[in-house]
């Protein structure tokens, strides 16, 4: 079995590819089948998220290019940036991972969320496409669940205001 142990930063010519959906691209330890049929194991640094086009290096010198697999997504397209911003707000408020592009946003298909966005006046289509969601402001995984810390936001707001 090929051991893929590092994410390469320098350009390289890949020997083969591995096609993975998002839920596999956010794992640092995983057994996979390369697109040429060989077995491989991902043994990457914890917290590594793979994106389409990333290169992985193996112990034996093999180089593998990551391909984002097509997934069933809900896709919203609009020329109205305010309407798209409202959609992003409502999806983010529900802790949904979203991919934001010019005039378009994508999320894992959910008919309830589709109906909510249609209620805002948006058109939602269901398509099969690669999914590369935003990783999040705290550097967590792209699935929105790997934050690595708690979101405790208790703050002491005692202020002394002497307007004298």
Residues 6+ apart with CB under 8 A from 18: 32, 33, 34, 35, 40, 56, 64, 65, 66, 67
HEC sequence for 45-103? CCCCCCCCCCEEEECCCCEEEEEECEEEEEEEECCCHHHHHHHHHHHHHCCCCCEEECC
pLDDT of residue 52 exceeding 50: yes
What's the confidence (pLDDT) of residue 138? Answer: 53
What's the confidence (pLDDT) of residue 139? Answer: 52
The rounded mean pLDDT for the chain is 87
Rounded CA separation 52/65 (Å): 8
pLDDT of residue 58 exceeding 90: yes
- Reported as a pLDDT band with limits 50, 70 and 90, residue 160 is very low
């Amino acid at each position: 079995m090929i051991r893929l142990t590092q994410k390469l930063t320098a350009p390289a010519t890949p020997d083969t590819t591995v096609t993975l959906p998002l839920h596999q691209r956010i794992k640092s330890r995983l057994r996979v089948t390369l697109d040429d049929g060989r077995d491989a194991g991902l043994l990457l640094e914890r917290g590594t998220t793979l994106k389409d086009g990333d290169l992985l290096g193996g112990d034996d010198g093999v180089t593998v290019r990551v391909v984002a697999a097509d997934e069933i997504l809900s896709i919203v397209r609009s020329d109205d940036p305010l309407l798209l911003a409202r959609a992003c707000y409502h999806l983010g408020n529900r802790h949904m991972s979203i991919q934001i592009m010019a005039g378009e946003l994508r999320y894992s298909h959910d008919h309830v969320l589709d109906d909510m966005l249609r209620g805002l006046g948006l058109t939602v289509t269901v398509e099969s496409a690669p999914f590369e969601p935003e990783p999040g402001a705290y550097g967590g995984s792209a699935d929105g669940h790997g934050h690595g810390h708690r979101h405790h936001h208790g703050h002491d707001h005692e202020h002394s205001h002497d307007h004298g």
